[in-house]
Amino acid sequence: MEKLEELIEQIRKNKFVLIIIQYFLDKNEFLTDISKTFGSDKNKDSDGRCSYINEIFNVILIVLLILIFIYIILFTFSANYYSANALLKKSFSNQIRLRDIPEFYQIKNIFYINDFISFDTSLILLMFSAILLIVICYYLDNSPQFKGLKIHFIETLNLFIILSLLIVITGFIYYSINYNNLISLAKRNNILIVFFYKNINRDYIEKKQLCNYTDKKDILDSDFKLNKCNDIELNFSIQTLYDYIKDIMNEIYNDDNNITIDKFKTLQDKNGILYKDRLSSAFFTFSLMYYYTSNNLYDEAKELFAKHNYSINPILDLNYESVLLNKPDLSYNNNILMQTAFNNNKDIYYYVYNDYYNISSEIQNLIVDIYNICKYRMISIYTYYNFVFFMMIVIVIYYLIKKYIESN
């Protein structure tokens, strides 16, 4: 117990600890001085009335300033925590997803406007916060209400203002260097998401009940989420695809028993949807579900195939070691079930399969392009966040050394 007390006493008397304590005491004194300015006589107008609107506005700015201060610190720490955690996971985990790698995880925050304007939302928010912090400090310093303060906002937050300036300057440099790659990445990512959801066959999913959207099994079913793709591991099978194909082919043959491939190419259902699109998208949906279930991505599939989801980027669920989507066996030859499902019409099968193959190839090419941009061409946004964290540490060390020298 005595040794513990001695250790605490040594820590308490440590000069760096005293510097840190004094830093917070100074900030507390600064906030106390600010609070005294509210309601004072100097804030009254010519009629003797208090300028409440101006004081309320200043209060809002001070609160916003504190929130921005906290946000920049917490965001920088969280981004660097993710980077460190990703590095450890890459070193020790046997199964790495693209979402576990900073170079690819940045895709999540990329916002596409058009082929000339795209940006990383987290970068823009961080830079905007830094700019806003500087503007608020300068505005409050020039506000008549705070003219009599011993220490002003810019002087009090001078080191953090320097950090904010560095965040903005390096942020613009980062964006300028990565502009072309960022535009290319955002464009391909946008096309990929649109193409993905365009070819997910909701009709196949719902008619064959591949996802349980509404029926919770019992009170112990804690994994159930309303309108999410629950129980896919139980409901998914290739038989559902055969049955769906058979239903469509029966529908076609009921209307025309002498269907030819030329007729089939333009044949539409009662809703105006081409039958060939319904079948090829069913193939694609099945192969996508096959990838998720064969890789035990049940939680990810629950979100991707959710009833009202049209935005989740499935590329982040791919294996880091191989971004090729493993395809199930959907061959016609030596597969009596596939032949039966297509009513032994080989021509329609090959036409549908070729359409499905083109869809898969287009998506695969987009994935490979995105992979190459992120891995080989573009500087990761997390490299920038690492640099911001490094600057933050340098500023803290500079402050401690400066105060330590002044105290001697």
- What is the per-residue pLDDT across 109-148, written as a single tens digit (0 to 9) for each? 888 888 888 888 999 999 999 999 999 888 887 776 667 6
Is residue 373 located within the same domain as residue 397?
Answer: no
Is residue 255 located within the same domain as residue 343?
Answer: yes
Range from 69-83, 140-154, 316-330, 334-348 that averages highest in pLDDT: 69-83
Whether residue 366 has pLDDT greater than 70: yes
Whether residue 304 has pLDDT greater than 80: yes
**Could you tell me what percent of the chain has a pLDDT over 70?**
80
Q: Please check whether residue 187 lies inside any domain of the structure.
A: no
Is residue 354 located within the same domain as residue 209?
Answer: yes
Q: Please check whether residue 71 lies inside any domain of the structure.
A: yes
Is residue 161 located within the same domain as residue 40?
Answer: yes
Is residue 71 located within the same domain as residue 152?
Answer: yes
Q: Please check whether residue 192 lies inside any domain of the structure.
A: no
Whether residue 407 has pLDDT greater than 80: no
Is residue 162 located within the same domain as residue 204?
Answer: no
Structural domain boundaries enclosing 211: 199-377
Q: Please check whether residue 188 lies inside any domain of the structure.
A: no
Q: Please check whether residue 108 lies inside any domain of the structure.
A: yes
d(CA 307, CA 317): 19
Is residue 228 located within the same domain as residue 345?
Answer: yes
Range from 48-52, 68-72, 259-263 that averages highest in pLDDT: 68-72
pLDDT in tens, 186-231: 999 888 888 888 888 998 988 888 888 887 776 656 777 878 888 8
Q: Please check whether residue 193 lies inside any domain of the structure.
A: no
Is residue 160 located within the same domain as residue 219?
Answer: no
Is residue 209 located within the same domain as residue 104?
Answer: no
Is residue 113 located within the same domain as residue 208?
Answer: no
Confidence of residue 403 (pLDDT cuts 50, 70, 90): low
Q: Please check whether residue 28 lies inside any domain of the structure.
A: yes
Number of domains in the chain: 2
pLDDT of residue 50: 47
Q: Please check whether residue 185 lies inside any domain of the structure.
A: no
pLDDT in tens, 259-290: 888 888 888 888 888 889 999 999 999 988 88
Is residue 84 located within the same domain as residue 110?
Answer: yes
pLDDT of residue 45: 54
Confidence of residue 384 (pLDDT cuts 50, 70, 90): very high
pLDDT of residue 388: 92
Is residue 387 located within the same domain as residue 364?
Answer: no
